[in-house]
């Protein structure tokens, strides 16, 4: 397929290019900054709030991977962040519908649940958290991701576009992941709101490819996360210490993830492959597809 990738120069975007091109797809790319990669068929530099840029980039696209957004809170101007992310999401999905694009995979975030960037202490209502967990959002970034998911539902109703919104946790690989793991080990309480969830960036890219290739009619919100936590402490210890009294609907064995990813396995046939924990042989664990 010819696939438009927005936000292609970003952390996840660079891995998505590798994943899509490696699978034989043709890629058109957009970003606000220059893309130092000669492989895309076309590159459009500019703001996704510009309708002309989005229409030009969408020309000939059969599918879209939408990553173009401000990827973290902006405490200096949360209203501007919210407006930019929501406007961008609507612009891309609206133009995709007008252009007759049939499939879109969009990067949402577990912040849509309302825990990760909460400005006040908050606990989940239960674990493992699934896609039906009520939203507890209090921050503009998480709210912008919640709106992205509603924009996707609206675009499906209006245009018939099949859309998958993937809720990602922290994503990292290599040194970026090592820094995150060290920070969690040093102060697990500082990560109580992200529920110690993580995902190797290569798995995030693979999940996006699966989502855009899948014959999955409708609009779906799917959680994608590693099968374990980012903490050396067991999941039971983490919950007892930092979220006491929260009911667990499944046994919290060892370092099991506190997010439910069964929908990802069921709908996309995808399970993350990359792990960070060491086996007795010194190798990092990896799950099979």
pLDDT digits (tens, 9 = 90+) for 100-149: 999 999 999 999 999 999 999 999 999 999 999 999 999 999 999 999 99
Asked if the model's pLDDT at residue 94 lies above 70, the reply is yes
**Of residues 288 and 27, which shows the higher confidence score?**
27
Give the pLDDT confidence score for residue 286 in this predicted structure: 43
Please state the rounded mean pLDDT for residues 249-276: 96
How far is the C-alpha of 11 from the C-alpha of 238, rounded, in Å?
29
Asked if the model's pLDDT at residue 280 lies above 60, the reply is no
Give the pLDDT confidence score for residue 289 in this predicted structure: 34
Within a domain: 122: yes
Q: Which residues pair with 2 in a beta bridge?
A: 26
Q: What is the pLDDT of residues 33-86, one digit of tens each?
A: 999 999 999 999 999 999 999 999 999 999 999 999 999 999 999 999 999 999
Give the pLDDT confidence score for residue 278 in this predicted structure: 67
Within a domain: 123: yes
Within a domain: 275: no
Confidence of residue 254 (pLDDT cuts 50, 70, 90): very high
CA 154 to each of CA 70, 94, 206, 221, 250: distance values in angstroms, whole numbers, following the listed order: 22, 9, 26, 13, 34
Within a domain: 253: yes
Give the pLDDT confidence score for residue 288 in this predicted structure: 36
Q: Give the three-class secondary structure for 170.
A: strand
Within a domain: 274: no
Asked if the model's pLDDT at residue 206 lies above 50, the reply is yes
Confidence of residue 284 (pLDDT cuts 50, 70, 90): low
Q: Which CATH number fits the domain that encloses residue 62?
A: 3.40.50.720
Confidence of residue 215 (pLDDT cuts 50, 70, 90): very high
| Residue partners of 189: CB distance under 8 A and separation at least 6 | 241, 242
pTM to 2 decimals? Answer: 0.95
Q: Two tokens at 126? A: 């239960």
Within a domain: 190: yes
Within a domain: 232: yes
Q: By the 8 A CB rule, do 74 and 80 touch?
A: yes
How far is the C-alpha of 255 from the C-alpha of 236, rounded, in Å?
8
Asked if the model's pLDDT at residue 282 lies above 50, the reply is no
Please state the rounded mean pLDDT for residues 210-223: 98
Give the pLDDT confidence score for residue 287 in this predicted structure: 40
Give the pLDDT confidence score for residue 279 in this predicted structure: 44
Q: By the 8 A CB rule, do 163 and 152 touch?
A: yes
Peptide bond into 128 cis (omega under 30): yes
Give the pLDDT confidence score for residue 281 in this predicted structure: 36
Please state the rounded mean pLDDT for residues 226-245: 98
Q: Cα dihedral angle (150, 154, 157, 161), rounded to 10 degrees?
A: -90
**What residue numbers bound the domain in which 16 lies?**
2-268
CA 184 to each of CA 24, 33, 208, 250, 272: distance values in angstroms, whole numbers, following the listed order: 37, 31, 26, 24, 20
Phi, psi of 222, deg, nearest 5: -130, 130
Within a domain: 119: yes
Percent residues over pLDDT 90 in the chain? 96
Q: For the chain, what is the domain count?
A: 1
Asked if the model's pLDDT at residue 233 lies above 90, the reply is yes
Across all residues in the chain, what is the average pLDDT?
95
Please state the rounded mean pLDDT for residues 173-200: 98
């Amino acid at each position: 397929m010819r696939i438009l990738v927005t936000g292609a120069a970003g952390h996840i975007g660079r891995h998505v290019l590798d994943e899509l091109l490696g699978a034989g797809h043709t890629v058109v790319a957009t970003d606000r900054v220059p893309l130092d990669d000669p492989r895309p068929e076309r590159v459009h530099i500019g703001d996704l709030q510009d309708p002309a840029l989005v229409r030009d980039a969408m020309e000939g696209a059969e599918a879209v991977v939408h990553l173009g957004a401000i990827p973290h809170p902006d405490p200096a101007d949360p209203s501007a962040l919210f407006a930019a992310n929501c406007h961008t999401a609507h612009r891309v999905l609206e133009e995709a519908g007008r252009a007759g694009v049939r499939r879109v995979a969009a990067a949402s975030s577990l912040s849509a649940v309302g825990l990760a960037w909460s400005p006040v202490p908050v606990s989940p209502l239960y674990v493992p958290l699934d896609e039906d967990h009520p939203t507890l959002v209090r921050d503009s970034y998480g709210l912008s991701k919640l709106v992205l998911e509603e924009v996707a539902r609206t675009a499906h109703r209006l245009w018939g576009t099949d859309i998958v919104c993937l809720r990602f946790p922290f994503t990292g690989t290599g040194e970026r992941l090592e820094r995150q793991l060290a920070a969690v080990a040093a102060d697990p309480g500082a990560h109580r709101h992200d529920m110690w969830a993580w995902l190797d960036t290569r798995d995030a890219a693979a999940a996006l490819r699966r989502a855009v290739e899948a014959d999955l009619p409708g609009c779906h919100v799917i959680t994608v996360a590693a099968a374990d936590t980012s903490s050396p402490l067991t999941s039971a210890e983490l919950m007892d210490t930092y979220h006491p009294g929260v009911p667990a609907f499944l046994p919290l064995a060892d370092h099991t993830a506190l997010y439910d990813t069964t929908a990802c396995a069921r709908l996309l046939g995808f399970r993350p492959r990359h792990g960070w924990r060491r086996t007795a042989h010194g190798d990092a664990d990896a799950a099979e597809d």
